[in-house]
A and B are shown apart, each in its own frame.
Chain A
Amino acid sequence: MTALALENLSKTYRNGHEALRGIGLQVERGDFFALLGPNGAGKSTAIGIISSLINKSAGRVGVFGHDLDTEPAAVKSSIGLVPQEFNFNQFEPVVEIVVNQAGYYGIARREAYQRAEVYLKQLDLWPKRDTQARTLSGGMKRRLMIARALVHRPRLLILDEPTAGVDIEIRRSMWDFLREINGQGTTIILTTHYLEEAESLCRNIAIINHGRIAERARMADLLRRLHTQAFVLDIRDALPSIDDIPGFGVTLLDSTTLEVTVNRDQGLNPLFSVLSERGIEVLSLRNKQNRLEQLFIDMVKGGVETGGRGA
């Protein structure tokens, strides 16, 4: 069953800016789906339309078989939204924010409080329940928005930059939590600028660029399309320069750091043989950057051939 179906979705703002140009996209039930794109590509507009915060100009939005135009209540009940910006009343206590949100979905206060307790405990916010939201740290505010989005138990959770500004430890714990939620059957759509996050969490991906779906594929298939990888090598003795190594792209970043570009179908042994012959001792080796990041940059610049278009 399809969790989300977008058909020919368009949005032109009053100032004439075309944020979405007839995008089509399907997200299957239970998926963990990445929606990526550069700033201004149309991601947040698409999410705004799906969650009823922005009026669409044309097209159709379907959520679990319900049409947003004809069955808005059914669509809204199915969706939980974690927006990019903090959008709760900063002066309300944490627990009130979650309980009130439950109330807007018709959940009676006693049950709302019980649910709030469950999610605030899961997200380590229960000790802060009576604290004014404005006093929370950035990471806590992000987690509060996740608790609020889950309190009515949505089948589709949309996360717009959920870990922006969150330190790495909390980010990892949030990843674990989201994996758990997804494992329990909640479909998740994620937008993020941390491409490592998308690569780690998501099974499928769509890339929006200039208001159009530039790519829609399985994450594994997409990553397979990368032709080259870059490695950074730390060497023991400083070098003034380095000669070319046949078959490899070699750059001296500084006197003790080399960057080597390697084709996907090429082994690393010949590289180490040459370095060994030249008396260069390698101390350590690491990937230069996240693979998805490389692909993403190439794709939005038009450097990589795109595969299947949006479903």
Chain B
Amino acid sequence: MTQTTVYWVAFKTILTKEILRFARIWVQTVLPPAITMALYFVIFGKLIGAQIGDMDGFRYIDFIVPGLILMSVISNSYANVVASFYSSKFQHNIEELLIAPIPNFVILAGYVGGGVARGVVVGVVVTMVSMFFTDLSIHSYGVTLVVFVLTSVLFSTAGFINAVYANSFDDISIVPTFVLTPLTYLGGVFYSISLLPPFWQTASLANPVLYMVNAFRYGLLGVSDIAMWQAFAIIIGFVIALGAFAMWLLRHGVGIKS
């Protein structure tokens, strides 16, 4: 058995375990975002959106669809990894991986893969829900797909880092509540930053979620507040930085080894 085969089998094992985990509890993992997004579409899209008029040349409900889909992907990718990895720490079954002959990158890839899988499933479900409210068209399949996957990878990795540092179940909800949700809501999901005063336009540029939402909106609608090269540079930069940090944490056993 070659080393590559060992790593591949180990990766598939972690990934399968992660997918089965969220699939077993689909009522808690897949259904809620579908319901939440349906409510967003009804309230912000239909009821309030009808009073707002067009934004960037699109009906308001069409304008917010990309951001709402990506918001689901972000929160679910993050939640999957942070909950699963912290649970492994809490129950000590992370030790099953630590004693096995697999390198850290396989462990990280397995958990992030699980987060991406949930992001994809939830993203597809939310997209299907959105089709009840809007005629979804795709401007660029390539941009849409790449932003979708990279965003999911980024927030899965962020969830992993959160889980490494978490010492209680409270610690895994602090970041989503106080960091992730504000960043997402202020990341241009519901508005174009061109509507903001100059100071807040500049301040918004410090929010990484803005780049993802706009890149995804470009993929679906063909409009964006941000240049695509800039959006991709930020997204890829964050993926590399968080990935490197997560590997460093694993190499030093932070939060998982004495």
Chain A interfacial positions (CB closer than 8 Å to B): 13-14, 48, 51-55, 72-74, 76-77, 79, 81, 83, 85-90, 92, 96, 100-101, 103-109, 148
The docked-state distance in angstroms from the alpha carbon of A103 to that of B96 is 11
Q: Which of B1-31 contact A (CB under 8 A)?
A: 1, 3, 5-7, 9-10, 12-14, 17
Q: State whether A55 and B253 are in contact (beta carbons under 8 Å apart), knowing that A48-B258, A76-B99, A87-B93 are contacts in the complex.
A: yes
Instruction: State A52–B7 Cα separation when bound (angstroms).
Output: 18
Give every chain B residue within 8 A of A53 (Cβ-Cβ).
95, 98-99, 257-258
Q: Scoring B residues 67 to 97 as 1 if CB is less than 8 Å from chain A, else 0, what string do you get?
A: 0000000000000000000011001110111
B11 to chain A, nearest CB (A): 9
Q: Is the interface of B mostly helix, strand, loop or mixed?
A: helix
The answer for the CA separation of A101 and B100 in the assembled complex, in Å, is 8
Is B149 close to A, CB under 8 A? no
Tell yes or no: B102 within 8 A of A by CB. yes
26 A-B pairs (CB sep. < 8 Å): A51-B99, A53-B258, A55-B253, A55-B258, A73-B101, A74-B101, A77-B101, A81-B95, A81-B99, A83-B95, A85-B92, A86-B92, A87-B93, A87-B96, A88-B93, A89-B88, A92-B17, A96-B17, A101-B96, A103-B9, A104-B14, A104-B102, A105-B10, A105-B101, A106-B7, A107-B9
CB of B93 within 8 A of CB of A89, answer yes
Do B101 and A100 touch across chains, with their CB atoms under 8 A apart? Answer: no
Are B98 and A52 neighbours in the complex by a CB distance under 8 Å?
A: yes
Output the least CB separation between B7 and chain A (Å). 7
Which residues of A lie under 8 Å from residue B88 when comparing CB positions?
Answer: 89
Smallest CB–CB gap between B87 and chain A, Å?
8
A72 to B7, CA, bound (A): 14
Chain B: interface residue count, which band?
20 to 34
Q: How far is the CA of A89 from the CA of B84 in the complex (A)?
A: 11
CA distance A13 to B102 in the complex (A): 25
**Hey, which chain A residues are within 8 Å of B101, CB to CB?**
72-74, 76-77, 105-106
Known contacts A52-B98, A55-B253, A76-B100; A103 and B92 CB within 8 A of each other = no
Looking at the assembled complex, report how far the CB atom of A52 sits from the nearest CB atom of chain B, in whole angstroms. 6
B residues contacting A by CB (< 8 A) are 1, 3, 5-7, 9-10, 12-14, 17, 87-88, 91-93, 95-102, 253, 257-258
Q: How far is the CB of A145 from chain B (nearest CB, A)?
A: 10
B100 nearest CB neighbor, chain A only: A104
What's the minimum C-beta distance from A308 to chain B, rounded to whole angstroms? Answer: 31
Query: Could you tell me if B99 and A79 are in contact, using CB atoms closer than 8 angstroms?
Result: yes
Complex: A83 Cα to B95 Cα, angstroms: 10
A73 to B10, CA, bound (A): 13
The CA-CA distance from A81 to B88 in the complex, in Å, is 17
Q: Are B96 and A88 in contact (CB under 8 A)?
A: yes
Contact, CB under 8 Å: A106 / B253: no
With A51-B99, A55-B253 known to touch, is A106 a contact of B258 (CB < 8 Å)? no
Question: Who on chain A is nearest to B7 by CB?
Answer: A106
Residue numbers in B under 8 Å from A76 (CB-CB)? 99-101
Question: Which B residues touch A109, using CB under 8 A?
Answer: 13
Q: How far is the CB of A89 from chain B (nearest CB, A)?
A: 5
| Nearest CB of B to A253, in Å | 44
Besides A53-B257, A106-B5, A148-B96, 16 new A-B residue pairs in contact (Cβ under 8 A), listed by A number: A14-B258, A53-B95, A55-B257, A73-B101, A83-B95, A87-B93, A87-B96, A89-B87, A92-B17, A103-B10, A103-B13, A104-B96, A104-B97, A104-B100, A105-B101, A106-B101
Closest chain-B Cβ to A71's Cβ sits at a distance in Å of 10
Q: CA A48 – CA B258 in complex, angstroms? A: 9
A96 to B100, CA, bound (A): 16
Q: Which residue of A lies closest to B103 (CB)?
A: A73
Report the Cα distance A143→B13, complex, angstroms.
Answer: 23
Contacts of A14 in B (CB 8 A): 258
Q: Give the 6 A-B CB pairs with smallest separation, nearest first.
A: A103-B13, A106-B6, A104-B100, A87-B92, A73-B101, A76-B101
